[in-house]
Amino acid sequence: MPELPEVETMRRGVLPTIGHTIVSVERPPCDRKPILFEPTVQQWNRRLRGRQIHGVSRLGKRVILEIQRKRSSAVGREEDDPNGFDQAIVFEPRMTGLVLIADPPGNEHLRLRLKLEGPQLEGPRCDELLFWDRRGLGTARLLTREELQSRVQDRLGPDALAVGADDLRGSLFQSRRAVKVSLLDQAIVAGIGNLYAAEILFVAGVDPRTRCDKISRPQWRRIQSAIGSVLGDAIRHEGSTLSDGTYRNALNDAGGYQNYHRVYDREGETCVRCRTGIIRRIVQAQRSTFFCPRCQRRSGLHAAVREILVPPASDQAVQ
């Protein structure tokens, strides 16, 4: 389920396509229902043929291919304008979508192929860029720069890697929703999904059921700090490939952060921090939430402080 770390890893993986020219756009035949794709493939070709990829960015959980603007030269010929982009391809992987420059996991479920040409420098081959999506909940859209602003950027809160504790508190201090549900709201903060919300609140030592209007300033600071550390670690490990094996980076390699999950999908296991609590699974807004009832409490002292008062069995103590 690509969330910020997975999408950021995809983004980095397709950076080598920058400077390449789009030769054609194809929608491979697919037995299944086609993904949401707009406008038509003819429009994609008309608007993209001969254009260069100017940059690759990320907005929340979307990968953005920036398409270089054309400008008219003195003699009236169109040429590439190195100063910007006027269109954007927006890939939204949702559950099982992948943006690839390597062969996809299978020939089935290939949704889009961009044929590219460009200077073949050292590094991975970039003669095509693919969008593959097993479940077909993902989307691929071609937007103008203005549409990217109004239809994507303006609807998102600050990026999770840049959000401040006061942003979070300011948006949520009157909200009665559970904090875990609010962290999934992309209009509050962009990039966090179900898996990382659980990991973040574990690191922050906050009970996921806590109402936002009951969260203290120090707790917001710990949540903000945990957002940065958890997502940063996950990016360093190139995201999480769960047991279904779906998530892959742009070269079709699995991520590694699943080996570091502390609570996600660990119901019934002993908490890795206190070595006493048993990880619980509850359902919030129709999604699984995992947490340690001992380390994550709605009120009272932060777990790190409690450890001083009530030390858990630690490795040092055993030694």
Enumerate the active-site residues: 2-3, 61, 287
Q: Is 1 in the site for DNA (CB under 7 A)?
A: yes
Residue nearer to DNA on the CB measure, 137 or 165: 137
Kindly state the smallest distance separating residue 91's Cβ from DNA, in Å. 11
* Token pair belonging to 128: 């095509």
Chain positions 172 to 191 lying near DNA, rule: CB under 7 A, are: 174-178, 181, 184, 186
| E strand or H helix at 219 | helix 217-236
Q: Is 60 in the site for DNA (CB under 7 A)?
A: yes
Judge whether 137 and 46 are in contact, CB under 8 Å. Answer: no
Q: Is 194 in the site for DNA (CB under 7 A)?
A: yes
Residue nearer to DNA on the CB measure, 52 or 186: 186
Residue nearer to DNA on the CB measure, 85 or 247: 247
Kindly state the smallest distance separating residue 22's Cβ from DNA, in Å. 25
Between strands 62-72 and 53-59, the pairing is antiparallel
Q: Is 99 in the site for DNA (CB under 7 A)?
A: no
Residue nearer to DNA on the CB measure, 194 or 296: 194
Judge whether 155 and 147 are in contact, CB under 8 Å. Answer: no
Distance CA 59, CA 305 (A): 36
* Token pair belonging to 34: 């086609």
Interface residue with DNA, options 86, 92, 207, 238 (CB under 7 A): 92
* Amino acid identity for residue 224 in this structure: Q
Residue nearer to DNA on the CB measure, 18 or 181: 181
Interface residue with DNA, options 95, 165, 254, 282 (CB under 7 A): 95
195-212: burial string, b at 16+ Cβ within 10 Å, e else:
bbbbbbbbbbbbbbbbeb
Listing DSSP states for 1-64 in one string gives: ---HHHHHHHHHHTGGGTTPEEEEEE----SSPPPEEES-HHHHHHHHTTPBEEEEEEETTEEE
Kindly state the smallest distance separating residue 247's Cβ from DNA, in Å. 11
Distance CA 303, CA 310 (A): 10
Interface residue with DNA, options 137, 161, 165, 272 (CB under 7 A): 137
Contacting residues toward DNA, per CB under 7 A: 1, 3, 32-33, 60-61, 92, 94-95, 108-109, 134-137, 155, 174-178, 181, 184, 186, 193-195, 243-244, 285-288
